[in-house]
Amino acid sequence: MSAEEKVKGPASYFPSIEKTYGQPIAHWMQVLKDAGPLKHMELVSLLKSEHKLGHGHANALVAWYKAQG
């Protein structure tokens, strides 16, 4: 991807998530994988309650995770 191309969608949150919570995206993907087969909002709630992520950041991570299949 060239410098002119802007990251869109859930991945656009990744730099802020890494800076705010001090963990790489791979860490959060593993947290979601370890949580098991939960629904989207169940995973969002888990990130918010157990890891203190904000709603937007949690939603972006779950959306990306679910899209990866």
pLDDT at 26: 98
Residue with tokens 């309650």: 49
pLDDT above 60 (res 22): yes
CA 55/CA 41 separation, integer angstroms: 10
pLDDT above 90 (res 3): no
The residues spanned by each domain of the chain are 11-68
Mean pLDDT of 18-44: 98
pTM of the entire predicted model? 0.90
Question: What is the rounded average pLDDT for all residues in the chain?
Answer: 94
